Amino acid sequence: MENEDFSSLSKKKLKTLIQETQEVLDQLKGELKQRKLDKRHEEIDHMEEHFEDAAHNLSNLKNFIQKVFSEMRKDK
C-alpha cells in the first residue's frame, strides 16, 4: 500500500479504510503490550534463579577477596 493512489477512493471508502487500519493497529499494539507483560511475568517466574546466581557470584567474590587478603598477609 506504500505507493497506492488513494485519490480515486470515495470519502466513505477512505473512512472505512482508516477505521480498518486503526483496528489492525490497535490489535498490533495490544499484541505488543501482551508480549511485554508475558516477558515480565517470565522474568518474575525466574527471579529465584536470578537470586541464586547472584548469591553464588557474591560468594565467589567473597572467597576471591579473602584469598587476595590472605596472599597479601603472606607476602608481608
CA distances from 56 to 53, 65, 76 (A): 5, 14, 31
Give pLDDT tens digits for 21-76. Answer: 999 999 999 999 999 999 999 989 888 888 899 999 999 999 999 999 998 888 76
Q: What is the mean pLDDT of residues 7-14?
A: 94
Element (H, E) at 2: none
Is the pTM higher than 0.85? The answer reads no
Residue 10: predicted pLDDT: 94
Q: Which residues contact 14 (CB under 8 A, 6 or more apart)?
A: 6
Please report how the helices 47-75 and 11-45 are oriented relative to each other, as an axis angle in degrees rounded to 10. 50
Banded pLDDT at 1 (limits 50, 70, 90):
low
Alpha carbon 29 to its chain centroid, in Å, reads: 15
Which amino acid is it at 12?
K
Residue 2: predicted pLDDT: 63
